[in-house]
Structure 1
Amino acid sequence: MKTTGNTVFISGGSAGIGLAIAQKLSAEGNRIIINGRNPDRLQKALSELKDAVAIQGDLSLETDRVRIARELAEQYPDVNIIVNNAGAAFMNNLSDSANNAAEKAYQEINTNYLSIIHFTSLVLPLLLKQDDAAIVNVTSIAVFRGNKFLPTYAASKAALHSYTQGLRDTFADNNKLNIYEVYPPLVNTEFSAEIGGANGIPASEVADELFLALAQNQFEVPVGETKHIHQLTAQISANTH
């Protein structure tokens, strides 16, 4: 699809991967709308972007999802790319009965999966009016295998991965709407600090890979070490069909 002249809404766009995507796409001549929960962080992010705007809100809340989708339709009717990047993750020790694992998992599933399904359904009518549109879901290397540190986060991203495949299949015959999935590995952001994010790749690498994928209509976007795992799983999938 085109990589300039788009109007792009990015959830979780005030920091980390979301901000890096906003910076990359802004520099390439796209209009950027960032979303986040914290007004101060949004204002700081806006100071690092050219001619961007912000819509404050928590997409894990139904009322905010409805309000933001309505605001996009009414004030930014040319929005043609939605980047579902906002997420939640908790260290979740499943061996500790006092850990409240289910509550952590509920928050992750709500933010990383159910909220995205609902928000996507709300903005689909707007996207389907455009001549060139895309939905970009940011999942994770964790979709390929869970781990003991973030087991329920990995499960929520695996659910989003499966939903994204189904959404892509649903619109396979619509050449005006494409569905992308970005698989970051460990990325050096505040979001991942608790799990050793300082050892991860820069967020700008994720943004660069997404930009190239948009230009090439490459709907699967593995990044960094995810590329090897993705290649292996793609081969296995191809051999089973």
Structure 2
Amino acid sequence: MKTTGNTIFISGGSAGIGLAIAKKLSAAGNKIIINGRSEERIQSALKELHNTVAIQGDLSIAAERVRITEELKNNYPDVNIIINNAGAAIMNDLGDSNNNAADKAYQEINTNYISIIDFTALALPLLLQQEEAAIVNVSSIAVFRSNKYLPTYSASKAALHSYTQGLRDTFAENDKLGVYELYPPLVNTAFSAEIGGANGIAASEVADELFAALADNQFEVPVGDTKKIHQLVVPITENVPH
């Protein structure tokens, strides 16, 4: 995949991992379109970026997904990479009967899984018109093992992981479309502050790994500690009939 001269849409691109990816790809000579819910954070992010525009909106809402896709088609018809980075994570104590665990899980599943399936389906006709295109789904080290703090977040990312594999298989014979999965470990961002994000790696490291993977057509992109697990698990799962 070429790493310059692309037009790239990044959901959740106004902060954290998304902003780090936007900085890396913008600096490499790509046109960037960031998306986020907060207009204030978008405007702050734009001050740190070059060759970047923004589309404000909440991709967890179906009507917003349609509106944003239409804006891409009408105003940025050369979009050839979408990076599905926006996510939701909620501490969810499954042992507390007053915790509203299902409500929290619904928010995570909707944002981290259902919304991505729908938005990708809406964007696919545009991507398939390009000479070279890519879909990047940002999952997590959590796809391999859940925990008691983020059990439903982990489940939503595991669902995204399975979907990404199926999407990649669907377009395996299309040499113009690559389907990538980026697996960050704990990353030091505001998003992960509640679960000890200060102990995580820099978001720029995730961006660097994705950039290298795009250049090498490396569709599986484990980062940091995820590499150790990925090396053990993926050779086994690849032998499962699919």
TM-score (norm 1): 0.99
Distance in 1 (CA, whole Å) between partners of 2:30 and 2:11 is 16
Deviation at 1:179, TM superposition (A): 0.1
Deviation at residue 234 of structure 1 after TM alignment: 1.6
Percent sequence identity is 76
State the AA in 2 paired with 1:213. A
In structure 2, what is the equivalent of residue 2 of structure 1? 2
1:3-42 aligned within 5 A = 3-42=3-42
Write the letter of the residue equivalent to 1:214.
L
Cα deviations by residue, 1:9-50 (Å, 9 ceiling, x for unpaired):
000000000000000000000000000000000000000001
Runs of 5+ consecutive residues of structure 1 not aligned to the other structure: none
Over 3 Å counting, the alpha-carbon distance change for 1:238 and 1:68 in structure 2 is: closer
Partner of 1:181, secondary structure, is strand
Q: Check 1:128–1:103 CA distance in 2 against 1; reply closer, same or farther (3 A cut).
A: same
- Tell me which residue corresponds to 1:226: 226
User: What's the CA shift string for 1:138-193, capped at 9, x where partnerless?
Assistant: 00000001110000000000000000000000000000000000000000000000
Which residue number corresponds to residue 46 of structure 1?
A: 46
**Whole-angstrom distance in 2 between the partners of 1:5 and 1:134:** 13
What is the root-mean-square deviation of aligned Cα atoms in Å? Answer: 0.8
Deviation at 1:236, TM superposition (A): 2.0
Q: Secondary structure at the match of 2:33?
A: strand
Query: Which one-letter code corresponds to 1:99 in the other structure?
Result: N
Task: Evaluate the alpha carbon distance shift between residue 239 and residue 137 of structure 1 in structure 2; reply closer, same or farther with a 3 A threshold.
Answer: closer
Question: Could you tell me how far apart the structure 2 residues matched to 1:178 and 1:74 are?
Answer: 23
1:173-212 aligned at under 5 Å gives the runs 173-212=173-212
CA–CA distance in structure 2, aligned partners of residues 99 and 175 of structure 1: 47
Task: Show CA shifts across 1:97-124 (max 9, x none).
Answer: 0000000000000000000000000000
- Per the alignment, residue 160 of structure 1 pairs with 160
Amino acid of the residue matched to residue 142 of structure 1? A
Compute the displacement of 1:51 (Å). Answer: 2.0
Which runs of 5 or more residues in structure 2 are unaligned? none
Q: TM-score, normalised by structure 2?
A: 0.98
Letter in 2 for 1:83: I
| Mapping 1:108-123, distance limit 5 Å | 108-123=108-123
